[in-house]
């Protein structure tokens, strides 16, 4: 029941205003299933259908779970067709690879390439640093797709800040996909690649 109560709160927020950029770094701890579309995915895809909002969704941190059972696949609602599912890379530099914990694809049809993109999310090799909740002046090391997703959203907002309204939301998505580097990794692991 908590899943649906939380989804109701998200729906209220989405309907309260027209947002241009949104990040969602939470959702049910459920890998996607090819047979049915989860209510979280359905609601978010419906909201994004007009093409006026750029949304990133964390792909999930279940990448080390059982591959044969499909437990490492992207999590709900990162299977949205109209959102960008974001996985995590283990490093910032050119020698990056998919972070071990980052969920993998494929997505369900028609969005088979999932996660769409990856961005730096940290790993034991190179942590993502955030302000401490106890001592805000200090940084603490962490990692997760929940950090990679807003990191990529920041890049999308930067494109809008530079190019203005001359580039559409779809244009921003296209620019990010076009500049992504796959580093010879499978699209099931990193989608279209890592955004530079």
Q: What would the pLDDT profile of 86-98 be if each residue is shown by its tens digit?
A: 999 999 999 999 9
Q: Which two tokens stand for residue 169?
A: 């939301």
pLDDT reported for residue 174? 96
Residue 167, pLDDT above cutoff 90 = yes
Write phi, then psi, for 85 (nearest 5 degrees). Answer: -80, 125
**Bridge pairing between strands 128-131 and 117-120:** unpaired
Whole-model pTM? 0.92
Per-residue confidence (pLDDT) for residue 96, from 0 to 100: 95
Kindly tell me the burial class for residue 126, based on how many C-beta atoms sit within 10 Å of its own C-beta (0-12, 13-18, 19 or more): middle
CA-based angle 174:17:108, to the nearest 5?
A: 45
Q: Is the pLDDT of residue 154 over 70?
A: yes
Q: How confident is the model at residue 27 (pLDDT cuts 50, 70, 90)?
A: confident
Cα 175–chain centre separation: 16
For residue 69, count other CB atoms closer than 10 A to its CB: 9
From residue 120, alpha-carbon distances to 18, 28, 49 in Å are: 28, 22, 28
Per-residue pLDDT for 69 more than 80?
yes
What pLDDT was estimated at residue 107? Answer: 87
Order of all β-strands in the sheet with 117-120: 21-24, 54-58, 84-89, 117-120
Of residues 183 and 161, which shows the higher confidence score? Answer: 161
> What is the DSSP annotation of 109-154?
TT--S-S-EEEE---SSS-EEEE-SS-TTSEEEE--HHHHHHHHHH
Res 1 pLDDT > 70 = no
The answer to whether residues 130 and 140 touch, using CB atoms and an 8 Å cutoff, is yes
Pair 122, 155: CB distance under 8 Å: no
């Amino acid at each position: 029941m908590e899943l649906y109560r939380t989804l109701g709160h998200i729906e209220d927020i989405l309907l309260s205003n027209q947002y241009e950029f949104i990040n969602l770094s939470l959702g049910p701890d459920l890998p996607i299933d090819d047979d049915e579309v989860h209510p979280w995915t359905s609601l978010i895809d419906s909201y994004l259908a007009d093409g006026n909002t750029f949304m990133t969704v964390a792909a999930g941190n279940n990448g080390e779970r059982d591959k044969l059972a499909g437990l490492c696949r992207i999590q709900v609602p990162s299977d949205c067709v109209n959102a960008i599912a974001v996985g995590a890379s283990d490093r910032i530099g050119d020698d990056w690879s998919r972070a071990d914990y980052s969920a993998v694809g494929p997505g369900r049809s028609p969005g088979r390439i999932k996660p769409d993109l990856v961005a730096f999310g940290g790993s034991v090799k190179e942590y993502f640093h955030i302000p401490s909740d106890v001592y805000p002046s200090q940084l603490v090391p962490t990692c997760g797709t929940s950090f990679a997703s807003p990191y990529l959203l920041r890049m999308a907002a930067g494109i809008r800040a530079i190019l203005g309204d001359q580039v559409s939301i779809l244009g921003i998505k296209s620019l990010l996909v076009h500049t992504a580097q796959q580093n010879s990794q499978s699209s099931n692991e990193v989608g279209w690649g890592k955004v530079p």
